[in-house]
Amino acid sequence: MAKPKQVYSFEVKLVLVERFIAGETSLNLATEAGLSSPLLLQRWVREYRRDGADGLRPKPKGRPRSPKSSPPAEVSELERLRRENELLRAEVAYLGKLRALSAQEPRR
């Protein structure tokens, strides 16, 4: 059975990264902090250098929400009617083609 993933707080990450930048070795810091690998600390340092301290903050889990899944904004009546008109035109075109296809003689 696998061990649960260890989660480190923002403050712990920040202190370890700052100590690494000050000159301490990643192996000594990883051993002292009980990290699974010095590579974890080196990844935190890369994130810190790329994004600053905010790069060490916890990230939201899962897939990001798409803009379509957010609640719809108020749609003006004009926009609603335009969409309805477009839908009705597509429906009429579909029914016209269906009628034309059914009127054709079957192929033999």
Q: What percent of the chain has pLDDT over 70?
A: 91
Contact 26, 51 (CB under 8 A): no
Cβ neighbours for 26, distance < 8 A, ≥ 6 positions apart: 20, 38, 41, 42, 45
Token pair of 103 as six digits: 């009127």
**The tokens 């690998």 sit on which residue?**
37
The pLDDT value given to residue 6: 85
**The tokens 């990450």 sit on which residue?**
13
Helix (H, G, I), strand (E, B) or coil at 40: helix
Q: Contacts by 34-38 with C-beta closer than 8 Å and gap 24+? A: 35/8, 36/6
The pLDDT value given to residue 43: 95
Question: pLDDT per position in the chain (108 positions), as tens?
Answer: 777 778 899 999 999 999 999 999 999 999 999 998 999 999 999 999 999 999 999 988 888 877 665 555 677 889 889 999 999 999 999 999 999 998 887 766
Using N-to-C axis directions, what is the helix angle for 10-22 and 26-33, rounded to 10°?
Answer: 150
